[in-house]
Amino acid sequence: MRIATWNVNSVNARLPTVLQWLEAAVPDVVCFQEIKTVDDKFPREAFESLGYNVEVHGQKSYNGVALLSKYPVSDVRRGLPGSDLLAEGEDDQARYIEALIEAPRPIRVGGLYLPNGNPIGTGKFDYKLRWMGRLNAHARDLLANEEAFTLCGDYNVIPTPDDAKTPSAWVTDALFQPESRAAFRALKGLGLYEAGELGNQPPGTYTFWDYQAGAWQRDHGIRIDFHLLSPQAADRFVGVETHRDARDMDKPSDHVPVVIELAE
């Protein structure tokens, strides 16, 4: 089974590129982030024509996540538990979707778009850290069920200096703050396995290059898109691929897909 995560940075604006990649890579399950559309404007039929069941948790103009599966899905969740932790007047943004993939060996897949958190020292950074706390609590609950699952998506965290071409460029950014990195380590510390580490991907395996300042041409990338696997999913781990070539497609996203393969 092949499971992909991809921040597409507006699914309607990049639909031909996204479809071209899907037809070539043929993942069984896909989690999209930053679809930037409400549910009824999501191009469902285009993906259904490729054989996918489609679940969407959208938001107008911003955020939004979707899950596609060539297998039936059930137990669909839209939104992360813990909305009671929102600050007064704060919206619970469309950043999380989860479903049980009913393959011959089922797996639960959670697709997430973690808040960016910039600028630091503002409520946006506080929201990021609270959201990571909610994700940690949900991951603990999932682990207690002792089932195979992956929490995949755009984590908006640069975990280590090796995950950036130029770490010094990110020292004032929310993605590289000690608190963000500590929250990511705490998540892994629950007993989750990061696919890039399982697959021994080398430093310099980036997943995001900004559109500005020639970042792609100079390979000034960062690695912020991850699959975190439960022990039961890690036992089935075969490999991981970072589809760098997608950044060079026509009208690309600033992120590239990351695909894991699990044994059936």
Residue ranges covered by each domain of the chain: 2-262
Give strand pairing partners of 154.
113, 225
Q: Considering only CA atoms, which of 105, 25, 130, 104 is closest in space to residue 68?
A: 25
- Residues 81, 75 contacting (CB under 8 angstroms): no
Residues making up the annotated binding site are 7, 34, 154, 156, 254-255
| Residue 57 a catalytic site member | no
Token output for 241: 């691929």
pLDDT, tens digit, 9 for 90 and up, residues 170-201: 999 999 999 999 999 999 999 999 999 999 99
What one-character DSSP code corresponds to residue 260?
E
pLDDT, tens digit, 9 for 90 and up, residues 17-47: 999 999 999 999 999 999 999 999 999 999 9
| Residue 71 a catalytic site member | no
What one-character DSSP code corresponds to residue 168?
G
Q: Considering the entire predicted model, what is its pTM?
A: 0.97
Token output for 63: 């955020």
pLDDT, tens digit, 9 for 90 and up, residues 85-99: 788 778 889 999 999
Among the listed residues 52, 96, 113, 206, the single catalytic one is 113
How far is residue 174's CA from residue 121's CA, in Å, rounded to a whole number? Answer: 9
Residues making up the annotated binding site for Mg(2+) are 7, 34, 154, 156, 254-255
| Residue 250 a catalytic site member | no
pLDDT, tens digit, 9 for 90 and up, residues 40-66: 999 999 999 999 999 999 999 999 999
Identify the architecture of domain 2-262 in CATH.
4-Layer Sandwich (3.60)
How far is residue 55's CA from residue 99's CA, in Å, rounded to a whole number? Answer: 9
Among the listed residues 154, 163, 173, 225, the single catalytic one is 154
